[in-house]
């Protein structure tokens, strides 16, 4: 299709906004700023080894983030790009990132706005050095009514159902942006020479059934009964209780798994297990599970902790971890049923 018949991200946002007369448009500018951050990160990731950005941050003395994980050089750069491309526009009151222990203030030189931006600047970054897809995840919340103007962690602690928008950019063979403004999910592909995100996947809908599931099988000895049962039944294939063969997938890059599921269905599990009782799952609620949950549910899929809908979880801290199950509706509902049946 010729370029002049394509819808750019800016055009898409403006046309969406026209449906709600009287809105300020601040929000559109924020999404466009996030898109610029993602393009900058995409460019850095695409340089690969040539940019000398592979490996750990801090030379020989690798630095460790709040999660206790080693920061890659590209984690640090991506975090800086996310912050510097979104903090100046006057849309945000504050931000929070996977890479920062505390909330991030807007510099005094810039006006403050009414939104909060929560993000994981480079998800799946253990995959950078091996040239496997990584991505950036973001969630937008409103500053709570009647806040006292103080920057504290508390203002971010809102359940996922309150998200105004969410999305991710995936830096794969093509760079794509999946976006929900609370009215379905639309996918955009970065045109590499024009430098615009172009609407390529309108109104995404996840098939209700699937024969693909993704879980890190190396944790099997720690799984709890409902997950053990679900996986065993899938692996039993055609002659087992499910009566069909399943494929397994594990990319170790959640954005890439989410993208597969938004595109052709499937189910992803990073459940609570018995490995470390202090950690209820590996992935983080505020900037991994919640934005993915909003996208998946807006596309007709389902996202759950196993025992409750993800979007209803009341957060207690910015970096809290949560069991995460998402994907094709009938599979996630089955997993929820198994959890309820075993009282887990």
Non-local CB neighbours of 237 within 8 Å, separated by 6+ positions = 244, 245, 246
List the single partner that 125 binds among Mg ion, ligand AHM, none, CB under 5 to 8 Å by kind. Answer: ligand AHM
The smaller minimum CB distance to ligand AHM, of residues 123 and 297, is found at 123
Query: At closest approach, how far in Å is the CB of 266 from ligand AHM?
Result: 13
Give 136's strand partners: 169
The CA distances from residue 16 to 132, 184, 204, in Å, are: 34, 12, 16
CB atoms within 10 A of CB 65: 18
The smaller minimum CB distance to ligand AHM, of residues 123 and 331, is found at 123
Query: At closest approach, how far in Å is the CB of 76 from ligand AHM?
Result: 13
Give 92's strand partners: 115
Contact status, residue 124 vs residue 252, Cβ threshold 8 Å = yes
Does 99 bind Mg ion (CB under 5 A)? Our answer is no
The smaller minimum CB distance to Mg ion, of residues 31 and 134, is found at 134
Query: At closest approach, how far in Å is the CB of 216 from ligand AHM?
Result: 4
Query: At closest approach, how far in Å is the CB of 16 from ligand AHM?
Result: 29
Look at the block and give the residue holding tokens 């998402």: 326
Using CB atoms within 10 Å of the CB of residue 52, give its burial: 0 to 12 exposed, 13 to 18 middle, 19+ buried.
exposed
The DSSP 8-state label assigned to residue 207 in this structure reads -
List the single partner that 216 binds among Mg ion, ligand AHM, none, CB under 5 to 8 Å by kind. Answer: ligand AHM
The smaller minimum CB distance to ligand AHM, of residues 28 and 133, is found at 133
- Which positions lie near ligand AHM, rule CB under 6 A? 69, 98, 120, 123-126, 216, 252-254, 270, 282
The DSSP 8-state label assigned to residue 220 in this structure reads G
Does 123 bind Mg ion (CB under 5 A)? Our answer is yes
Query: At closest approach, how far in Å is the CB of 167 from ligand AHM?
Result: 16
Which stretches of the chain bind Mg ion, using CB under 5 A? 120, 123
């Amino acid at each position: 299709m010729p370029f002049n018949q394509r819808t750019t991200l800016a055009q898409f946002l403006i046309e969406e906004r026209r449906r709600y007369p009287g809105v300020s448009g601040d929000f559109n500018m924020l999404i466009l700023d996030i898109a610029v951050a993602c393009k900058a990160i995409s460019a850095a990731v695409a340089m690969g080894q040539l940019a000398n950005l592979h490996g750990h941050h801090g030379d020989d003395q690798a630095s460790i983030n709040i999660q206790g994980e080693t920061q890659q050089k590209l984690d640090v750069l991506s975090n800086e790009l996310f912050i510097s491309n979104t903090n100046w526009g006057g849309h945000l009151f504050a931000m929070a990132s996977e890479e920062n222990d505390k909330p991030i203030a807007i510099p005094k030189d810039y006006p403050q706005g009414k939104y909060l931006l929560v993000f994981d600047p480079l998800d799946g970054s253990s995959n950078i050095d091996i040239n496997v897809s990584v991505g950036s995840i973001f969630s937008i919340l409103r500053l709570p009514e009647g806040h006292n103007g103080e920057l504290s962690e508390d203002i971010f602690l809102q359940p996922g159902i309150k998200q105004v928008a969410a999305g991710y950019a995936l830096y794969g063979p093509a760079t794509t942006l999946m976006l929900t403004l609370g009215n379905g999910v639309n996918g955009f592909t970065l045109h590499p020479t024009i430098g615009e995100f172009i609407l390529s996947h309108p109104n995404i809908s996840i098939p209700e059934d699937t024969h693909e599931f993704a879980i890190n099988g190396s944790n099997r000895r720690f799984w709890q009964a409902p997950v053990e049962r679900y996986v065993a039944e899938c692996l039993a294939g055609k002659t087992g209780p499910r009566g069909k063969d399943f494929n397994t997938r594990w990319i170790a890059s959640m954005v890439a798994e989410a993208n597969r599921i938004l595109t052709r269905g499937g189910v992803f599990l990073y459940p609570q297990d018995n490995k470390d009782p202090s950690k209820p799952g590996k992935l983080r609620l505020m900037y991994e599970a919640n934005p993915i949950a909003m996208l998946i549910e807006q596309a007709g899929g389902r996202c759950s902790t196993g025992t409750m809908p993800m979007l209803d979880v009341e957060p207690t801290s910015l970096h809290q971890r949560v069991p995460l199950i998402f994907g094709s509706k009938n599979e996630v509902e089955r997993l929820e049923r198994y959890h309820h049946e075993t009282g887990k």
